[in-house]
Amino acid sequence: MMMSSNNMECSAKAKEEEEITKISLMRSLVETQDPSSKEVDDMTIRRFLRARELDVEKASSMFLKYLKWRRSFVPNGFISPSELTHEIQQNKMFLQGSDKKGRPISVLLAARHFQHNGGLDEFKRFIVYIFDKILARMPPGQDKFIVIGDLDGWGYANCDIRAYLAALSLLQDYYPERLGKMFIVHAPYVFMAAWKIVHPFIDVKTRKKLTKNPRHRRQKERRKLLRTKTGE
């Protein structure tokens, strides 16, 4: 049974009022434990609440861990390109305008990623550097971004499970509700082995935002279409 437009409006209004109430409750809670949280806007508080299904206690715990991590990992308030020599040289990730909703688009060329002497720590700093650059480009009122992961040319030499899990952890733990959508395109068949390892670590909310377009699936669709046209 479909909800009427009036019922939908009432439901949306009730949810909005619930969020406003819980934002106030969470703000009171976190400000007593970490005074620096007073500088954080309501949109940020709301993201952490939504990431934890509006559970104030869980969202507060997540948020306080974020503040502690941020002070430790980005003590100067930003990460300098001089800290990312190996990562930037690979020229594998860049910003590419925005979608119709104003969400910034980031493009990842996965075949350009290789492990290097900078290690996992530099990679994690690079991910935070990119995320922060994306957020700096967000228009007022927007809080999500789009990622296009282009795996054209990806092979075993590019496979880096530790890096994938590190990026996923950063996104889910410290940038909740920032991902609007991620499109994984041109994925070769060999990528599926790596995907099976990473997939269990992706939370339910993030999984719903992922769209895969594996190359081998497109090839199957083309063969099916060809058989239909030829009457086979």
SS3 content of the chain, % helix, strand, coil (to 5): 60, 15, 25
Q: Which residues are registered as beta bridge partners of 211?
A: 183
| Total-model pTM | 0.86
Would you say how long the chain is, in residues? 232
With beta carbons less than 8 A apart as the criterion, state whether 154 and 114 touch: no
Give me Rg for the CA atoms of the chain: 21
Cα within 13 Å of Cα(43), Cβ side? 8
**What pLDDT does 13 receive?**
80
In this structure, are strands 93-98 and 210-214 parallel, antiparallel, or unpaired? unpaired
Mean pLDDT, consecutive 10-residue segments, the chain of 232 residues? 62 85 97 95 96 98 98 95 96 93 96 95 98 94 95 96 98 98 94 94 95 60 42 43
How confident is the model at residue 12, as a pLDDT? 73
Instruction: Please tell me the predicted confidence (pLDDT) of residue 228.
Output: 42
Domains of the chain and any CATH numbers: 5-73 (1.10.8), 81-230 (3.40.525.10)
CA dihedral 159, 161, 162, 163 (to 10 degrees): 60
pLDDT of residue 98: 94
The three-state secondary structure class of 189 is coil
